């Protein structure tokens, strides 16, 4: 089996996603109603189907957007270097959409899902499958952990924080693990 080697990634897709997220974040600071228009509310999904994608660009606060965008930058650059921008974007958006589907099916009907975490967990799940032994530092731990442990530990820890959409995280993680398995079998090529 031939494996694609790592190449210096083009970060254009990542910077574009980060820019959209910050523009929407600033808009929500000006008008909080945007959160309810773009956020995914399970009960309203049939009347607002676009929210399964737009919720990925809405964040609830400064630390929410900063954590998601920093993780997107680091996971995204590494993953693009392995699989290319096209496959990266496919995994990102499919992970976010599957996260939204899990949220619709498993969350309370009047709750709201916002944030890119489901899509980012898809990237993390993919990396955990194709580069499981990669060592990463997780603040505040002073020693590096294998990536797969960091991803799973992050999922479980975040799942116990009130108000966190663990359902979307789970959907993204499932998509990422499946995509990573396929990529590994195909030598890092999705199509």
Q: Mind telling me the catalytic residues?
A: 117, 169
CA atoms of 89 and 108, how far apart (whole Å): 29
Pairing status of strand 135-136 against strand 145-146: antiparallel
Q: Which residues contact 81 (CB under 8 A, 6 or more apart)?
A: 6, 7, 8, 9
CA atoms of 136 and 132, how far apart (whole Å): 10
- Calculated CA dihedral for residues 95, 96, 98, 100, nearest 10 degrees: 160
Per the structure block, which two tokens stand in for 145?
């952990």
CA dist 117 to 60, 99, 106, 142, 161, Å? 12, 9, 16, 25, 14
> Please, what is the end-to-end C-alpha distance for the chain in angstroms?
16
Q: How many other C-beta atoms are found inside a 10 Å radius of the C-beta of residue 71?
A: 17
């Amino acid at each position: 089996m031939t494996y694609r080697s790592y190449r210096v990634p083009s970060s254009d897709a990542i910077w574009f996603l980060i820019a959209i997220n910050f523009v929407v974040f600033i808009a929500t600071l000006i008008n909080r109603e945007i959160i309810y228009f773009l956020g995914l509310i399970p009960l309203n999904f049939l009347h607002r189907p676009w929210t399964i994608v737009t919720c990925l660009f809405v964040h609830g606060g400064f630390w929410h957007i900063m954590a998601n965008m920093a993780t997107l930058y680091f996971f995204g650059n590494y993953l693009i270097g392995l699989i290319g921008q096209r496959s990266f974007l496919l995994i990102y958006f499919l992970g976010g959409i599957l996260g939204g589907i899990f949220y619709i099916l498993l969350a309370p009907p009047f709750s709201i899902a916002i944030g890119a975490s489901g899509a980012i967990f898809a990237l993390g799940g993919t990396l955990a499958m194709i580069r499981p032994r990669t060592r990463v530092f997780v603040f505040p731990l002073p020693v590096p952990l294998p990536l797969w442990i960091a991803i799973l530990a992050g999922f479980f820890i975040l799942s116990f924080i009130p108000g966190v959409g663990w359902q979307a995280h789970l959907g993204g993680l499932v998509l990422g693990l499946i995509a990573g398995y396929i990529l590994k079998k195909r030598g890092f090529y999705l199509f």
